[in-house]
Amino acid sequence: MRVGLYPGTFDPITLGHIDIIRRAATLVDRLVIGVAINRDKGPLFDLEERLAMVEAESKYLSEKTGVEIVAHPFENLLIDCARDVGAQVIIRGLRAVADFEYEFQMVGMNRKLDDSIETVFLMADAQHQAIASKLVKEIARLGGEIEHFVPPPVKTAVLEKFNKR
């Protein structure tokens, strides 16, 4: 069984994340969405809320593709999380060249820690390349429209956080 790990903070999950999840599901038999606890980032949503959003948005994709997609919280090293879930491949989404530079360094470090786990990069679809959770939150906080960046239930959750229904 090919197991893939797609890690991130998912604060909140965006249409770009969902596109990567959909495409990653074609590459593996089981896809684990690693939801990083990452207290240093000061997430808008707590871990339980982010897990619930990831699970809700992944459910349809799992049913449609027949691939098991599960959310898994983690706070340890990414490579340790990959080992914990039995992943042979780490899936990373790339939006721009700036993403690649950081990810290139991460791959090098992860290969030193465990060279049996591969990393696969999926380029963001052109319509999703500009989407970043950080920007979605900033737009919402300032009263802008986010419906083109997140699914409707996520939009509602983000606006509730900022009390802007």
pLDDT score of 164 more than 70: no
pLDDT tens per residue, range 98-138: 778 888 899 999 999 999 999 999 998 888 888 889 999 99
Scored b (16 or more CB within 10 A) or e, 45-75 reads: bebebbbebbbebbeebbeeeebebebbebe
What is the DSSP secondary-structure string of 62-90? HHHH--EEEEEEE-S-HHHHHHHHT-SEE
pTM, rounded to two decimals? 0.93
Of 17, 22, 30, 50, which one is the catalytic site residue? 17
Q: Respond yes or no: is residue 112 known to be catalytic.
A: no
Of 95, 111, 141, 161, which one is the catalytic site residue? 95
Mean pLDDT of the chain: 93
pLDDT tens per residue, range 81-92: 999 999 999 999
Cα Rg, the chain, nearest whole Å: 15
Share of the chain above pLDDT 70, in %: 99
pLDDT score of 29 more than 90: yes
Q: Respond yes or no: is residue 133 known to be catalytic.
A: yes
- The gap between the terminal CA atoms of the chain, to the nearest Å, is 44
Q: Respond yes or no: is residue 41 known to be catalytic.
A: yes
Of 41, 59, 64, 148, which one is the catalytic site residue? 41
Q: What is the mean pLDDT of residues 3-26?
A: 96
Q: Quick one: pLDDT at residue 126?
A: 80
pLDDT score of 39 more than 80: no
Query: How would residue 157 be classed by pLDDT, with cut points 50, 70 and 90?
Result: very high
Of 58, 92, 133, 137, which one is the catalytic site residue? 133
Are 120 and 90 in contact, with CB atoms under 8 Å apart? yes
pLDDT score of 95 more than 90: no
Q: Which DSSP state fits 124? A: P
Q: Respond yes or no: is residue 95 known to be catalytic.
A: yes
